[in-house]
Amino acid sequence: MIMKGKKGVILGVANDKSIAYGIAKACAAQGATIAFTYLNDALKKRVEPIALEFGSQNLVYPCDVSNPQEIKDLKVSLEKDLGEIDFIVHSIAFAPKEGLTGRFHNISKEAFDIAMDISVFSLIEITKELKPLLSNNSSILTLTYYGGEKYIPNYNLMGVAKAALDMTTKYLAEDLGKDGIRVNAISAGPIKTLAAAGIGDFRFMLKWNEAHSPLKKNVTIEEVGNSGMYLLSDLSSAVTGEIHHVDSGFNIMG
Ligand code: 0WD
């Protein structure tokens, strides 16, 4: 029971295909207490049964990260219901459709601002608001993708956002290390989820990854979940600022 006694919050479960669900499953199996958030009422109906599955039916809160007040309210709820927490999972990203298809130079400022706000700045804001609750042996985890390191067809605006998220992870890690807070990212290989459905020709991405990775397979949310659990647990107590690839090794290929 590696996570026994650890309490935390997971943001970004949309359904049981979400990467955040895989992380919750791995953490719950190792004894963690997990609070969940949902984006809106439509997703609330999906997240509540998932919370129940992990015995967290009283730990489900709304949080649209584009609304600063909802992040502040989340802090108040977590403080009341959990007190001190040991981990945060940020598994959230969004870009308007125009940012994930077509010619890159046509992206509007409005789309750019939305993608950066929801996919990058939210990690900083959540960290700032929830920091008073974090123990001095805690861990923050976000989810990124290789399209922030190298060109990937159609990933476009989200690639720029992930590059910013990768550096945000590193600057946060340096800043928060002195407070006993580690900050890491998992760079997951492509997985068919709701968010992935928005990316043009995603099926090709899956096939390409499978064919060109050393392990010759795509990754599952269980595999990302297990690696996530490691980064949230004391097993990774000397690891921070890391972009940990869980991608069947795809990123090493030339
Ligand atoms: O191939 C993939 N699926 C990969 C995903 C490969 C590598 C990384 N990732 C990343 C994504 O970019 C994202 O950061 O993993 C993270 C989780 O994505 P996911 O598990 O693939 O997708 P999904 O199950 O859709 O969860 C993302 C959720 C949203 O779902 P929808 O589909 O409704 O956008 O992020 C949440 C929402 O639940 N989200 C928000 N949460 C709070 N406030 C907001 C928001 N404003 N916007 C989206």
Identify the band that residue 199 occupies on the pLDDT scale cut at 50, 70 and 90: confident
Tokens describing residue 172: 């946060």
Identify the band that residue 200 occupies on the pLDDT scale cut at 50, 70 and 90: confident
**Mean pLDDT, the chain, whole residue set:** 97
Contact 156, 101 (CB under 8 A): yes
What is the position in ligand 1's atom list of the atom closest to the CA of 193? 21
Tokens describing residue 143: 């989810």
Q: Is 117 in the pocket of ligand 1 (CB under 6 A)?
A: no
Identify the band that residue 198 occupies on the pLDDT scale cut at 50, 70 and 90: confident
Q: Give me the domains of the chain, ranges plus CATH numbers.
A: 7-248 (3.40.50.720)
- Cα 18 to Cα 8: distance, rounded to the nearest angstrom: 18
Tokens describing residue 23: 């992380």
Tokens describing residue 98: 């125009």
Its pTM stands at: 0.98
Q: Is 152 in the pocket of ligand 1 (CB under 6 A)?
A: no
Residue 2 is labelled as binding a ligand: no
CB atoms within 10 A of CB 67: 11
Give the amino acid at 26.
A
**What ipTM, to 2 d.p.?**
0.98
Helix, coil or strand: residue 151: coil
Residue 107 is labelled as binding a ligand: no
Tokens describing residue 191: 């997985």
Query: Among 21, 64, 69, 94, which residue has the most ligand 1 atoms within 8 Å of its CB, making it the best to mutate?
Result: 94
Active site residue 171: no
**C-alpha torsion angle, residues 224, 230, 232, 236 (rounded to 10):** -140
Residues in the chain: 254
At residue 137, φ and ψ (nearest 5 deg) are -145, 65
